[in-house]
Structure 1
Amino acid sequence: MNPDCQKNLFSEAGDILEKAHIDPYYKNEDNSFDNLVILCPNCHKKFDKLNELTVEQIQIWKQQRHDEIERTFTKKFSSFDEMSKVVQPILNRNRTIFASYFPDNKEMWERFEPEMLVNNARAKHIFEVNRRLFQGNPQYPDSSNLQIIDEFIQHVDEFEMSRDLDEKHRGVLFPEKIDSIFGVELVHENVLPMTESLEKLIRIRVSEGFKVEAMLGFEQPYVEFVRNATSETLFLDDTPRVRQLYYDNHCFIKTGMRLESLNFAYKMLRSRRIPFAFRSESMLREVDVKGIRVLFVYQYCLSKQYLMEIDPEEGEVVVNLHNWNGEGCISVEARDLAARFGVKLLTQEAFRSWLSSIQ
């Protein structure tokens, strides 16, 4: 942290940083973050052994470094993607250090812990000035990425103040879901129900030049985005990541079709080895099944009026996946109109039987 020393403390060839106590540890056993400073070996020697540097000078260096970090990492980014390019390497590096050395290699952990502290400070400053870029839900904090960010900031503050404590004794542990937000490491939660939001995200990605393949009908459904030589796999149960992408691309819209119900319908097709193909990359509710057009809807009661609105083609099969109302999920008037249109209306149970008939 010597402003006149330009040695690179972190490098691929090997880190040379050394951790020094501003007030000698033997005097008061103060191992707090405030009493630590990161120096290169030469500066450390000058401070500890040669007494060429005073405590006051070291404290000034540390404050100067703190101010420099704040200036560097208080940029307001224009988009989440722009911010993510800076944050991803920080989270990846800390994840590697933690997985490699904590808690089994105390010597190496103490060597690399200062780097984690610096990285934490960088990320914290970035998050504090870019809160607007994170999806939030004040009414339901458990469904809020901003809540995860606040937990990370609290964790960073506590980590600095409780470095001598075991991880299990800390009140706020590292929120692993933050890695999901930035696509560093996925988590498996529940699939968000918003089929229409996913379709909108796919349309946006297609307009950006991505080739998109939706893989529904699996325990962990996912979407593959490919452009040029790069690809990204979005698992739909990686909830914080999905929420962030929906928020960043303005994809939160009213839910009509519940995605878990739609995925279950495709599971029925796959379990019977019946091939199907989406009629459009961005329309997940319409497929061709053995040359028959199948449209999935989600209505408490599929009415005559609704059937007229969707205007199905002759020979088409319309499946209502809203299964809470049994046979009553399709009105008598809708069935009569469908018969005149030459359209087949099916409940979820009737769809199961229909699949058996076409195998």
Structure 2
Amino acid sequence: MVHEYQKDDESSVNSADEALFEMLGILPSLAIGNGVPDEEDDENSMNDKGGAQALSLDRFVQRKDDNWIRKVLANSDNINLRRQYETTSVCVFPEALRIPAIEMRRLADELVWGGHIYPSDKTYETLRISKDGSIEERRALTRIENFVNYHSGWNALCNDYLRRLVSLALGQPMVLYKEKLNLKPPGGSGFAPHLDTPSLRVALGDRGPREFCTVMVAIDNMTTRNGCLRIAKGVWSEDHHVNTVQPKAEGNPDADGRAGAVLPELVDQLQFEDLVCVGGTIVAFNGWAPHRSKTNLSSFARRAVFLTYTLAAEGDFHDAYYQEMEHLRNKWRDKVGLPTQISNDELMELNALSTVPRT
């Protein structure tokens, strides 16, 4: 698919940066992971540029104890997040609970540029971009998974602050099940409508957890132009959800059947809402909520981390999930005659990016 950068009526959050790159003759698509701050950052991010309220991530987490979180949740303009989550399957956490966007960018950059230090599972995508009358083709890193155990900052964020946050908001102790950092570079594909729970059950089946909650933290500002998350709100549950494609038996665990993909004939019946937000915003939605995203038509990456949490009462399956996924992938590769160890760019296309269909 060929993607072309467009300008639309929505003002770009990176307009000054884009102008600078054009003036210098630098292709915007090469600026992925450059860490250039957006113009319209949230208050925490702007303070981090040198204001008196700037906080490192460690200090931020230390200052957000459970009592403080409870107080914020209780005084958020009478917004009952648990009720909101139960009736719409999604909730946006109050502004006071946001994570400084500049710290989220730093954590993302450390994973992207520190691959030799921090082990993780990486996924690449071949992008074909139409610009100035010619088509440019290049491979780009689009997703990183399984990194929390190897990076102290991400570990503190995911297993401490965000775990406590979602536990207190939903009223039940939660534990981390899976993590993925979506980088979505310029021209990066969106995802077709899907549910998370069916694909999350592929690895462990009845041996694993039954309830899933996804927590998204925006790293960059999310806009309609750069392919923000889109969610169809509703009272979604295992007893009431959209029908999905059934995965093929003994197929590719990352692709065949595309577990969780909404049946094409049902897509038009869903009303998806754009989740436009600034970097650092925290959102939670349940594993049965249909969601999707579009192609990134902006000149800069749209990064976000998606963390899956499960009920602590069901057990901690984080390591078991990744071990079983590796086993299933190796089993499938052996079946079709592919090397067990990924050794070239073409085979990296077989990783988790293809779990659900792209738009």
RCO greater where, 1 or 2, for CA within 8 Å and sep 6 or more?
2
For this structure pair, what is the TM-score category when the shorter chain's length is used for normalisation? under 0.3
Larger of the two Rg values belongs to structure? 1
Q: Which has the higher helix share?
A: 1
Give me the TM-score of the superposition, normalised by structure 2.
Answer: 0.20
